[in-house]
Amino acid sequence: MEILRPAFALGNLARGWAGKSPLGGYGYGTRPAGRRGATGKGLKGVHKDVKNAATALVTVLRQDHGLPAYISEGRRSQARQNLLFAQGRTRPGNIVTWVQRSKHTSGIAFDLGFAGYDPDSVPERWWKTAGEIGEALGLTWGGRWSTPDKPHFEA
């Protein structure tokens, strides 16, 4: 799949939007009304360069591809990471993370979501488009890992 905007054209998108919301009224990290599990934290505490790349990614997905993208989570505390790691192991629920030391805790990672979709029900082509654009912005996409984590992007 061809990326419609080359990486060099994203420079202005990846700079200059820290603290502004080009996300069509959702704002950073908020989900549309009625979505369960909204963190409300979005990109708070995420490193400035990663925040700018995340904003650019969401903007391109929404404006150029018409996809209902948003940031579901950015920086998280070590206590939250420990709870997520325990899920599916010593706490009820499915396993959602494979590491106790996450780049989320140092503010250089975020998770992407699509409004109205659980991560497992997002069309594969949407993840592929998001991954390619994120990589063009200089991010590492978790969808390429041996145990894929498609919502995950990091510096």
Judge whether 2 lies within some domain.
Answer: no
Residue with tokens 């400035």, as numbered in its chain: 48
The DSSP secondary structure of 49-108, one letter per residue, reads HHHHHHHHHHHHHHHTT---EEEEE----HHHHHHHHHBTTTBSS----S-SS-TTTTT-
| CATH number of 138's domain | 3.30.1380.10
Judge whether 1 lies within some domain.
Answer: no
Q: CB of 50 within 8 A of CB of 155?
A: yes
For 91, the domain range is: 7-154
Q: How many structural domains comprise the chain?
A: 1
- Which tens digit of pLDDT belongs to each residue from 109-121? 999 999 999 999 9
- Which tens digit of pLDDT belongs to each residue from 6-60? 333 344 444 443 333 333 333 333 344 333 322 235 899 999 999 999 999 999 9
